Structure 1
Amino acid sequence: MSEQVNHIKEYRGYEYKDILVDKDKVGFYLDSYENFGWTVDERFMSRALQTANAKGKIQLKLRRERGLINRVELTRLQRHFEDSIAQMERLERSKTATATMAALTTGLIGTAFMAGSVFAVIHEPPLILLCIMFAIPGFLGWILPNFLYKNLVFKRNEEINPLIQQKRDELYEICGKGHKLLTN
């Protein structure tokens, strides 16, 4: 009789995690979460990479073994990593927030002056001098926001980029600590 060999896998418990990331940062997140014991859940990833949502985000499906030796410390490092990522994203968004508000405000003020110019010209009798006095700042209020926006974003980038680089270094340090825990 032929001997029958059972090839049954040993049971392993997993924990699962779904994260929503920008399409252009998928590699960074996969590399980073790998340092905390997470691996890509291959059963779902091929489908996830093909379907990005309307905002250009992809849902990553990750899993890791529940029996990791340093799981508690890895989870603590992972939370620190996620908090640092959130801080870095807030810094990125702050680059344009002030510039956008200043440009919008300038545009609205220009529009108010232009409205005053229109009311002056349709007045009976037309107030041409007042129309010109209102039209000049009105046109400036429509032209300047673009230059104002670019200038403010440039200045804010100069302030924020060193802080973002500092956060990036912190992220790499956290990932290094996680990797060290996994390999020990």
Structure 2
Amino acid sequence: MMEERNKDFIGYEYKEATVNRSLEALFVDSYASMGWQLVETTMPMQGNGKISMRFKRDRKIRNKSELTRLQRQLDGLITEIDRLEFSKNTKAAGTAYVLGLIGTAFMAGSVFAYIAGLLVPSIILAIPGFLGWIIPYWVYRKIRQEKVNELNPLIEQRYDEVYSTCEQASALV
């Protein structure tokens, strides 16, 4: 009876990964093709949009070394997708912040000119100040849209590579 129980035993290896919430489904589906099973998903206390996932799989899985190589490749692709998604906003947000800061500087100059009793220079400085507060939104949208148009084909290419890697891994499992 003891021998029968030992035959049913499965030793597992465990892996924990922290990813952006937006990539959770991709991560779970991709890891399943590598033989991993999702054990639990938790949200870290920081609330930074990331989640922590724990996986397990049979230690004696076939083709483990090739699966490990494909998993490293998969992790790299998912990291690159995440980086490309993040970079859609970076340049646009930076430019908008700088323009807003410049607008604020003009507005501060306008206020100081008004306090000093210089009405005409105050009005002249207020105009670019208000523009510096209004224009950043439109600049942000334009730059972000250009970046989205530039990066979406690259992101789609990475997704295709992820699916190809998962198909290879699924054939090995």
Contact 1:30 1:40 in 2 (8 A): yes
1:176 pairs with 157, 160, 167, which one?
167
1:140 pairs with 123, 127, 131, which one?
131
- 5+ residue gaps, structure 1, are none
C-alpha displacement at 1:100, in angstroms?
Answer: 0.7
Contact 1:38 1:63 in 2 (8 A): yes
Residues 155 and 37 of structure 1, relative CA distance in 2, 3 Å threshold: same
Rounded to whole Å, the distance in 2 between the matches of 1:153 and 1:24 is 19
What RMSD over aligned residues (CA atoms) do the two structures have, in Å? 1.7
Secondary structure of the residue aligned to 2:5 is coil
Rounded to whole Å, the distance in 1 between the matches of 2:101 and 2:94 is 10
Give the TM-score normalised by structure 2. Answer: 0.89
Contact 1:118 1:131 in 2 (8 A): yes
Map residues 86-105 of structure 1 onto 2, 5 A cutoff. Answer: 86-105=79-98
| Residue type at the aligned position of 1:132 | I
| Residue type at the aligned position of 1:149 | Y
Rounded to whole Å, the distance in 1 between the matches of 2:38 and 2:97 is 43
C-alpha displacement at 1:64, in angstroms?
Answer: 1.3
2:67 aligned residue: 74
Secondary structure of the residue aligned to 1:37 is coil
1:156 pairs with 144, 147, 162, which one?
147
2:107 aligned residue: 114
Give the TM-score normalised by structure 1. Answer: 0.84
1:8 aligned residue: 5
Map residues 3-42 of structure 1 onto 2, 5 A cutoff. Answer: 8-10=5-7, 11-41=9-39
Residues 57 and 35 of structure 1, relative CA distance in 2, 3 Å threshold: same
| Residue type at the aligned position of 1:8 | R
Contact 1:23 1:52 in 2 (8 A): no
Rounded to whole Å, the distance in 1 between the matches of 2:38 and 2:106 is 57
C-alpha displacement at 1:27, in angstroms?
Answer: 2.9
Residues 141 and 159 of structure 1, relative CA distance in 2, 3 Å threshold: same
Percent of counterpart pairs with the same letter? 43
Rounded to whole Å, the distance in 1 between the matches of 2:151 and 2:121 is 44
Q: Deviations over 1:142-172 (max 9, x none)?
A: 1111111111111111101111001100100
